[in-house]
Each structure stands twice: as C-alpha cells, then as structure tokens.
Chains A and B, each alone.
Chain A
C-alpha cells in the first residue's frame, strides 16, 4: 500500500502526533499501528497486568485493545479526547471486561505496581518512570478513602456496587468519592504538568 522507502517512512512516522498516527491507522496503515504500539504498548501491558495479574490474560487484553484501535480508529476522530486517552481507555475497558468474565480474585489489598523490568531505552525508561512517579505521588495526595475508591475501581476492576458492598458504604458515597477523587487527581496532574500524550 505504501511505497515510500522504509527508513524515511519510519522517521516520518516517529515525528507524527498520536492523533495523526490514528488518522493513518484509520486509513489502514499498519506501520502507523506499529508506531502507536511502540508508544503505548508498554503502559498498556503494565495496566492490563495490574488489573489481570496474569501475563497471558494481560497480553490478550492488550492484543484485543490494539485490534480495537485498528478496527475503530475512524471512530476516534469525532471524539473529544487525546489519542492517548482513547487508546488507554480501550485497554482499560478490555482488561476490565476480561477480569469480570474470568471472575479473577481482585481488589485484594493492592500491592504496589511491580518494579520496572529491563529498560528498553534510557529515554523511554526515564519518561515512563517519571510519569509513573507523578501519578503515584498525586494519588498519595488524595484523601485515603478517595484513593481507595479510585484504586479499587480502576486497578481492581470493581464496579461501584461491588465497591459499596466491600467497603460497606452507601452507593452514593462511592460515586461521590470517585468523582471528587478523579477531579482532584485531574487538578493535581494538571499542576504537575503531566500530559497524557507521548513526549
């Protein structure tokens, strides 16, 4: 389909924004899909692994999410979101679907995220490590009950009703903790200057 020589093409793609890459994916450009995977595959896998706690299932979730990107990139264009947000939302959704389908024991006391493994490149590592620290620090600044609602919901894959039962709180309290927690997290991340997109 594409007739440009590979070296030029790869360099061109590396310069494109996430959104431009998604436009190309919507036009069936698999090199653009490959570039998006290079940008988000690792964070996607980390998220899926945190939720699913199983390498095979985590790979399944990431694979389904990226195939979702491949099939549905055209739908992204009318969304009011950054490409990174859209992609990571798909990954989270797939992982949560799987964890609920598999009925994996979840929401047990949350361990900290696993230690990062072998670095890919120093640059990637620094950037990902930096983001990870920013997010974790922002979470620690939330009141404990808000952090708990976000962590059990987002990383644990629990529904609000499951959370209400587990924490023995009214459903309305859980909704409100999620809303306040997420709003504060947004403000904290804004202050810290964390952009969701690839640097």
Chain B
C-alpha cells in the first residue's frame, strides 16, 4: 500500500509500527527533514507519557546488577572495532549526524578509535568537573589541561562554535567546533579563568562577538 510515509511519524514515536513499517519509515526519515523535525518534537511528548506510569520503586538489586554488568562488559567492548570513541574528527560530524538521525548504528562501527580528551583529563589526579549551564561541563586538571563536553545543536551554515579561555578580562581563542562534541581546550585553564563558548562566523574570530551560549564559573 502506498500510504503517505509522513503519516507514520506519530506511530513511530509511540513504537507502534511493526518491524517492516519501521524499516520503511526509517528509510523515509533519512531523506525527510520535515519528519525528523516532527519526530524530535513528538518524542518529547511521548517520553513525558512515561511519567504517567510512575509507580513503585524498583528493587535496589536492579541498580547493582546494571552497574555490575556495565563494568563487566566494558573490557570486552573496548577490544572490539566499535570501541566507543565518540571523539571522531569533527569533519565526520555531518555524516555521523545523518546516520544517527535515522537511528542506525552505522557510524559507531565506522568511527576511528582515538583517545578521549575528556577521559584523559579526568584520569589525572585532582581533576574536576565544572558545569557549563545545562549544556555540558568542563573537565580541568591541576596543570591546566582541560576538555569540554557539550551538547549543542549543529551550528547553522556559515557559523562555528568557538571556545574561549577568559582570564583577567582577556579572551583567548581555544578551539572551534560545529556541534555536540568533546573538545580538548588547547590553552591551559588556570585558576581564575572562565571557559566560554560563543557562536561565531565560520573560520572563527579573534575575540568573542556575542553572548556566550555556555560558560563555566571562575575555575577555582
């Protein structure tokens, strides 16, 4: 039946498609920006329905089992090709976003393994996490090495996100990125600094021209 594929967006959000319909709809989704937008918006309402079913608390053993299982499978997972190295080069971000938007796992298997800047900063003794509003966090080590993890939408065409290390009123460039990312801050973050992110024209600028989208408090 040549049904209008757009009409499956709500049943898809509710997980009410059978396996064949679901596959078809995901193919459609890959090429239909309107449906992706609609889905993102309907999914929020769908997930809110979960709160309508709140009942008894789960038994405490459930949490223990989950954490034990998670810890147990990490070593196995690491040796596989799809080792979770989500810090793939930003150049691959567009392709990744397209793959992920349709809910397929293609990119996880195709991303190159690389070291994770956030994990490597946090592995240093005395490292700490500083929140950046509700968008992410800065990890900073006592020697000033730092990385940020941010969940921001993809930057519009012609724009880039730019990270800054601001100290004594002077903002220094600290890296460009185009969307949700983990980014190593390529300047030392010393006590008293603020790390902030602004949206700038592509290529970056020498000093911030807009209000930060995300910023830490002064790093202590």
Q: Name A's B-contacting residues (CB within 8 A).
A: 1-4, 8, 12-13, 15-17, 19-20, 22-24, 26-30, 33-34, 37-38, 41-47, 49-51, 58-59, 62-63, 66-67, 70-75, 77-85, 88-89, 91-93, 96, 113-118, 120, 128-129, 131-132, 134-136, 139, 150, 153-155, 157-161, 163, 171-172, 174-176, 178-179, 181-183, 185-186, 189, 194, 196-197
Contact = CB atoms under 8 A, between A and B. Distances in A.
Q: Which 4 A-B pairs have the closest CB atoms?
A: A74-B86, A117-B56, A23-B149, A186-B45
B44 interface: yes
A85 B43 contact: yes
Interface residues of B, number: 82
A140 B105 CA distance: 38
A175 B54 CA distance: 26
B70 A30 contact: yes
Contacts of B97: 78
Given A37-B63, A78-B101, A117-B57, A27 B116 contact: yes
Given A1-B119, A33-B70, A17 B134 contact: yes
A182 B13 contact: yes
B29 to A, nearest CB: 12
A93 B16 CA distance: 10
Contact of A67 (B58, B73, B132): B73
Contacts of B180: 77-78
Nearest to B149: A23
Contact of B10 (A8, A62, A80, A178): A178
Nearest to B36: A80
A63 B58 CA distance: 11
A89 B47 contact: yes
Interface in B72-100: 73-74, 77, 84-86, 93, 96-97, 100
B52 interface: yes
B16 A16 contact: no
A67 B11 contact: no
A17 B42 contact: no
B151 interface: yes
10 contacts: A3-B126, A45-B57, A46-B55, A74-B85, A85-B43, A88-B47, A118-B57, A128-B51, A131-B54, A186-B41
Nearest to B69: A67
Contacts of B54: 42-43, 46, 113, 116, 128-129, 131-132
A71 B40 contact: no
A182 B65 contact: no
Contacts of A150: 14, 49
Given A17-B134, A30-B71, A23 B45 contact: no
A29 B122 contact: yes
Contact of B17 (A12, A81, A159, A194): A159
A44 B47 CA distance: 10
B47 A3 contact: no
A135 B53 CA distance: 9
B47 A182 contact: no
